[in-house]
Copies of this chain bind each other. A is one copy, B any other.
């Protein structure tokens, strides 16, 4: 079965939404913490423009990663696990089929 043909039960949707929101919270909190470190250390105009660039990159990356479409969620969850924004255990409310699929995506490595 193609991952974008999966059906999501109401309870799975609820579990998915909670995991997604939690991962977003983690990603944003880590961005704020990193920003604060950079801002504290900033001393020159060049440091400021580098922080501007950093914030733009983070904003675009978070926009891109956090795509809540059911057709995309298995890949989205896998990328959030890889980025350490999502604890895989938070997906226990999903079917075994979905969890195995996400785990496979998250741990997939291209042949060297």
Closest B residue to A49 by beta carbon equals B59
User: B45 and A31: CB pair below 8 A?
Assistant: yes
Chain B residues within an 8 Å CB radius of A59: 48-49, 52
Asked if A32 contacts B36 (CB within 8 A), the reply is no
A9, chain B: closest CB distance, angstroms: 31
B-binding residues in A (CB < 8 A): 28, 31-32, 35-36, 39-40, 42-45, 48-49, 51-52, 55-56, 58-59
27 contacts between A and B (CB under 8 A): A31-B45, A31-B48, A32-B42, A32-B43, A32-B44, A32-B45, A32-B48, A35-B39, A35-B42, A35-B48, A35-B51, A36-B39, A36-B42, A39-B39, A39-B40, A39-B42, A48-B55, A48-B58, A48-B59, A49-B55, A49-B59, A51-B55, A52-B52, A52-B55, A52-B56, A52-B59, A55-B55
